Structure 1
Amino acid sequence: MLGIGGTKPVAGRSEDVVACPVAKAYAFIGEGFFNNYPRWCPQVVELQELSPPPVREGSLGRQVTRDRGIDSESTFQVAAFAPASVFEIEGLSEPFRSSYAFHAESEGSTRIVFTFELKELDLVMRPFQKLIRTALQEGADQTVENIKRLLESGAPA
C-alpha cells in the first residue's frame, strides 16, 4: 500500500441486542470463527485456518472475499481472544481490523458491537473516502443483522 502522509482509519460500526446469552454468542463468533464466519459474511468465498485449533490469540487465517465480482485475498491473525468479552482479527497482508465486543444485557441477551476498520487507504482511493465509509457502515449493519438472525434462530456454534 502506498501510505504517503498517513490517513485516519475509515470504519463502520454497528451494534444490536441479541436474544442469546453472552457465552453462546462468543462461542459462535469467536470459538467457532472458522466454521461460522462465512455464514454471517456472504462475501467470504474461501476461509482457511492456518494455525492448529482451537482458535486463540495469535491464530492465523486466510480468506478470499468477493465484492462486486472482484476477489481479494488476505491473511490475518486473531489479535484479541477474550471469551465473553472481545474477539478481534487484524489483517497481516492488508491493513484492516474486525472487532466484536460482547456485553451482557438482561438475562439471556447480549449486546454485540461490531467494528470494521480500514487502517489506511491507498493514495488513489482517498478521494472516495466518504463513499468507502458509507459502504463500510452498510456492511457493518448487515453483519450485525446476519449474526442476530443466526443466533436467534438457534444456529449451532
Structure 2
Amino acid sequence: MAGLVPFNRRRSDVMSAGFDSFQNMLDDFFAESWPFRRSLLGDTFKLDVQDNSTEYLIEAELPGVKKEDIGISLNEGRLNISVNKDETVEETNKNYLHKERRYTSMSRNIMLGDADAAGIKAKLDNGVLSISVPKKPKPDNSVVIDID
C-alpha cells in the first residue's frame, strides 16, 4: 500500500513532493504577491467597462506601466488593450550567481459593436488607463403605419 502513487498530483488535497512543486515554490518566492498564489487571474490586468448613452468608458488598472508600453486598437468593434513591458537592467562589474529578467505581455479584448473609431480618447493617470469610446449614432428606422 505504501508504494501507491496518487492519480492526480495537482489536487490540493493530495500531497506531492515532486520537482514541479519545488519549482513552483521557487517561482512563487520570487513573485511580488502575498500570499503566494499562481493563477491566470493574477497574470492580467483588471477592467471596468461602463455603458453610457453616448459612449463607453473603460478603466484598466496598469500600475507601474508606462504609456509607451501600452497599445490600444479598435478593429470591427473589438477594442484591444495590450501591454508589453520589458524590465532589463544592464549592470557591469557584478558577480551574479542568479539573475532574472522580467518580460510581461498581457492583452484584453472588449467587444463594443457600436463603437465609433473617430473620437476615441485615452489617458494614463496614476496607473489607471481611462478610455472613452464614442458610440455610433443609431439611425431612426421607425416607420409610422397608417390604419385603413
Please state which band the TM-score falls in when normalised by the shorter chain. under 0.3
- The structure having more radius of gyration, on CA atoms, is 2
Larger RCO (CA under 8 A, 6+ residues apart): 1
More strand by share: 1
TM norm structure 1: 0.25
TM norm structure 2: 0.26
